[in-house]
Structure 1
Amino acid sequence: MKEEELIKECKKNNYTAQMQLYNMHKRQVFNASWRILKNKQDAEDVLQDSFIKGFRKVEQLKDDTNIGAWFKRIAINRSLDVLRKRNKQWMDDVDEIEIEADVNSDDLIEEESITIDLIKECIHNLSEKYRVILTLYLIENYNHREISEELQLKESTVRNQYIRGKKKLKEMFHKHRSHEFKAMHTAK
């Protein structure tokens, strides 16, 4: 069955259609949540909550809607709610210092040896305030205004944290590169 047909069936509360959509989209929804929460159990809970909420409100969707993106958006919002409850302080720790820099520069990836897996690993190892903003911006394609609304922060704060997080990522890449270089020359 095509996705549009599955959506129509879900609107009729068809369990089989719901399970098909769940199986089609569970991985991307889980991954979006996991990148934000960095906790498998929390991400699995958010996954289940997102699909339950989504199927309860499925009648609001147009039949041609990208339902995978819709479930993912629900999961991201739910993940941010979990973060807020888990640690109300993480957003309060954000510095309000203004940084003048070109936020839109694409100089993050300078070396060919930097892989997507390395980028994801490095983002995963960032502190929460940088990880969440970089994940939403770089991976989930939110813009700074959307992130500021979701996190209830000033847009300038989001931009500053993005710049700082990007700087920390670059530092991690350079460390990785220097370790690779040392390993190559030590092996000879």
Structure 2
Amino acid sequence: MRLDPLFESHRAQVYAWAYRILQREHDAQDVTQDVYLRWWHSRSNGAALTSPAAWLRRVTVNRALDVLRERHRDPQDDFRLAPSGVGRCDGTAPTAGARAEERERRERVSRALGGISERQREVVVAKVFDGLTFAAIAAQMNLSVPTVKTHYLRGLAALRDALHAERVT
């Protein structure tokens, strides 16, 4: 089966977006496949996409966040070890407590991201995870730069409030 040339031109970026969120190669590959299937169904149904890159980013981020939520429900996840030395300057393996804290932090952020608007989430992920400029995000989403900045600032405020509320309760 030959991939759609337009999707193929974005496949590496789709994988990179998924990997930045999930931090696991096999999960990022699964998400990339899921996104391709959604892309293929969308295109076969005659959907015209004004901004394929924005559509792919939105679907990828949402699917990756779904995988993070599913991971939270997987008790085997507690026993999987991160590669040796990940996140440690001295090259030693992180402790079980450090892994648990990191997992909990990712889950809190995932829940908070799931609670903000889709537009805000898309902008925040593009800026924070992908390091894109406001101008690049605006071009990808067909929005003005001030509108992108507004979505970003409101998204960060909503994330801060959600994370603070979760810490208090």
- Which category of TM-score, normalised to the shorter sequence, fits these structures? 0.3 to 0.5
TM-score calculated relative to the size of structure 1: 0.43
TM-score calculated relative to the size of structure 2: 0.47
Q: From the CA coordinates, give the structure whose radius of gyration is larger.
A: 1
